[in-house]
Amino acid sequence: MKVYDSEPGRQDEPERERVKVGIAEYEVTTAEATLTTSGLGSCLGVALYDEAAGVAGLVHVMLPSAEGVENPTAAKYADTGIETLLVEMERAGAARDRVRAKVAGGSDMLDFSENGSGIGVRNMEQVEATLDAFGIPIVSEDVGGDHGRSLRLEGSSGDLLVKSANKGSETI
């Protein structure tokens, strides 16, 4: 899987703190930090942003649901990861009714079509259901396909830069 990592900033851009979000991790920022994650194959990066409060968060989920899992790592699963991220964002000043979502990843890196939907599709279905349950709209997405992605969430603007092996870079 070819994944693009971050590139150095341009000379005219101010240097911002970069915070790496690993697999099954999340981060929240109220500053102008940039949250990054890479290695998104079937995993999904869910970026949440409250523009009025200036609060942004990013979670890197691996699997759809923690249901039936004993002592789950919250950020590993779409349902509990989004809920945990949202709670932390509210603690930082975000209001749930102002939060908007952007989602990227969810590729089908391996063909399991004989066994039903691939993990990337199931992850996205759970992300949609969880966000809908919290009343959070998805305003932009870059999901599916068969390629890896890396993400860079600008905490100051909520812009999500998606870098992929097949499509280059795109801000959503």
Choices 2.40.110.10, 3.30.1330.200, 3.30.300.180, 3.40.50.1370: CATH for 18-171: 3.30.1330.200
pLDDT in tens, 111-154: 555 555 689 999 999 999 999 999 999 999 999 998 999 999 99
pLDDT for 9 beyond 50: no
pLDDT in tens, 42-87: 999 999 999 999 999 999 999 999 999 998 999 999 999 999 999 9
Residue spans of beta strands (DSSP E) within the chain = 18-20, 26-29, 34-40, 44-50, 55-61, 100-105, 138-143, 149-154, 160-164, 168-171
Neighbours of 96 (CB within 10 A): 14
- 161 φ/ψ angles, rounded to the nearest 5 degrees: -90, 125
What residue segments make up the domains of the chain, in order of their start? 18-171
pLDDT at 63: 96
